[in-house]
Amino acid sequence: MADKFQTPKGVHDILPDDHDYYTFIKKVVRHRLRQAGFRRISTPIFEATEVFQRSIGNDTDIVQKEMYTFSDKKGRSLTLKPEGTAGVVRAYIEHGMAQWPQPVELYYVEPHFRYDRPQKGRYRQFWQFGFEVIGETDPALDAQVIKLAYQIHEDLGVADLLSLQINTIGTPESREKYQMALKDYYIGKERSLCEDCNNRLHTNPMRLLDCKEEDCRILAQLAPKMENFLDSDSKEFHEDLKDFLDGMGIKYEENPQLVRGLDYYTKTVFEFWDAKEGAQNSVGGGGRYDGLVELMGGQPTPAVGYAGGIERIIANMKREKIRVPKKDNLHVFVVQLGKDAKLKCLPLINKMRERGIKTMGAIGKDSLRIQLGIADKFETPWAVIVGLTEVREGVAIIRDMEKGIQETVDFEDIIPSIIKKIGDKSLDKYSPGELIY
């Protein structure tokens, strides 16, 4: 026998039971963001590698270690997107969105790819929803972005499990001074730092502050604080943000160690942490990135955004035994015996589906016993049985699968009878919406 295939390391199939969660989360995200004026964007799964190098920053973990980069047949370097903001900003510039009414509010729900070490909550393909407000600056916008993320968590029943961490990392100028001070502080202490931090010290010293290794964490506690290097504008911006969060009753923790793993942030940065597990299990993060559009070749344009990890939210929901509505369960299995019955049942099945009755039938088996057995396996509460006699008499049998009780109804009465039994509310009614010509 040939070897069986398996998914590559770190990636997973999303099976139907899990899709119930994805579908529900996507619905919440879509509704909350649409209410706030956001429109959906999808950027390609891969971009020119340079898009990520330039935006995320060459010295970050993502660019150094985690990108899926490959050459196409013409030798162009391409990379599967490890995060969403870079592509959205590239699209903002490419499509002249600076000419659209500002701010431009966009959201996405997409798979992302990182060559991470697979472990709980860390995969090589994962889904993120994210949203960006591009073209305006105001701490009230940062507060609104945080509030939207919070509302989405609330709708998903996980808001109380998460703690909001906020910080400001100032402007690039104030940050440069801070980074010098950090280097001065860490130089001479290299032997206490992990290997990664030793490498980061000269390229990206702020990343030493959020290292998870015990020794690095102790040193980070005593390191110089950003607040002593902040410019007055960033300070005021941060105070205003906190006032707005307080005004909306959103609880937060100030965390001077929070720096986020990407270079493009300015001023506000924030993350939602699992209150029990802390930084290891951040379900999402974001911040302000006022310099990114310009860095990517556009006009100077302020922006703020957020991205949340869907798998981690699902893990939280499951841990708390939060379930989502199941939409896939069938209502009816149509048992048909013989070709004449099939001829009558095929249009019936279609009509039932159009009315919102989730129906399965016309399976390639002819025996009543076998077909009822299939209905049982699919756990349909009702079966409609049509054999030769029923075709001749213009009737059908409706069987209550759990109780085993049967009744005979006129063929025309099948649909109303079933709807009465299952209730109008459980119908899977579908309207594609009106087309505009």
Residues that bind ligand AMP (CB under 6 A): 83, 114, 116, 121-123, 126, 128, 261, 282-285, 307, 309, 311-312
Residue 400, beta-bridge partner list = 382, 405
State the alpha helices, DSSP H only, in 158-304.
Answer: 172-186, 195-203, 214-222, 232-247, 292-295
* C-beta of residue 66 within 8 angstroms of C-beta of residue 114: yes
Q: Minimum CB separation from ligand AMP for residue 314, in Å?
A: 10
Of 314, 334, 428, 324, whose CA–CA distance to 375 is shortest? 334
Residue 142 structure tokens: 């940062």
207/312 with CB nearer ligand AMP: 312
Our CB check for ligand AMP shows the closer of 12 and 421 to be 12
CB of 112 to ligand AMP, least distance (A): 7
Q: Coil, strand, or helix at residue 5?
A: coil
Which residue of this chain has its Cβ atom nearest to ligand AMP in the complex? 309
Q: Least Å distance between CB 225 and ligand AMP?
A: 22
| Cis check: omega of the bond before 111, within 30 degrees of 0 | no
* DSSP label of 97: G
> What is the C-alpha to C-alpha distance for residues 382 and 247, in angstroms, rounded to an integer?
53
CA 424 – CA 86 distance, rounded (Å): 46
Closer residue to ligand AMP in complex, CB, 309/381:
309
Q: How many CA within 13 A on the CB side of residue 32? A: 24
Angle between helix 232-247 and helix 139-155 axes, rounded to 10 deg: 40
Q: Minimum Å distance from CB 284 to ligand AMP?
A: 5
Q: How far is the CB of 333 from ligand AMP (least distance, A)?
A: 39
Query: Given the complex with ligand AMP, which of 183 and 276 has the nearer CB atom?
Result: 276
Residue whose CB is less far from ligand AMP, 65 or 326:
65
Output the CA torsion sign for 122, 49, 81, 107.
positive
Provide, rounded to whole angstroms, the least separation between the CB of residue 307 and ligand AMP.
5
Q: How far is the CB of 374 from ligand AMP (least distance, A)?
A: 38
CB-nearer residue toward ligand AMP: 105 or 274: 274
Which residue, 298, 29, 302, is CA-closest to 139?
302
Which is nearer to ligand AMP, 24 or 264 (by Cβ)? Answer: 264
- Rounded-to-integer distance, Cα 358 and Cα 90, Å: 43
3-class state of residue 275 by DSSP: coil
State which residue, 107 or 186, has the beta carbon closest to ligand AMP.
Answer: 107
Task: Tell me how far apart the alpha carbons of residues 173 and 267 are, in angstroms, rounded to a whole number.
Answer: 11
Distance linking the first and last C-alpha atoms of the chain:
56
CB nearer to ligand AMP: pick between 112 and 399: 112
> Of the two residues 285 and 361, which places its CB atom closer to ligand AMP in the complex?
285
Shortest spacing between CB 55 and ligand AMP, in angstroms: 12
Q: What's the CA gap between 19 and 25, in Å, rounded?
A: 10
Computed from CA positions of residues 334, 336, 339, 343, in that sequence, does the dihedral angle turn out positive or negative? negative
Give me the least distance between CB of 182 and ligand AMP, in Å please.
Answer: 21
Q: Give the span between the Cα atoms of 167 and 164, in whole angstroms.
A: 10
For the bound state, the minimum distance from the C-beta of residue 311 to ligand AMP, rounded and expressed in Å, comes to 5
What one-character-per-residue DSSP string does 348-362 give?
HHHHHHHTT--EEE-
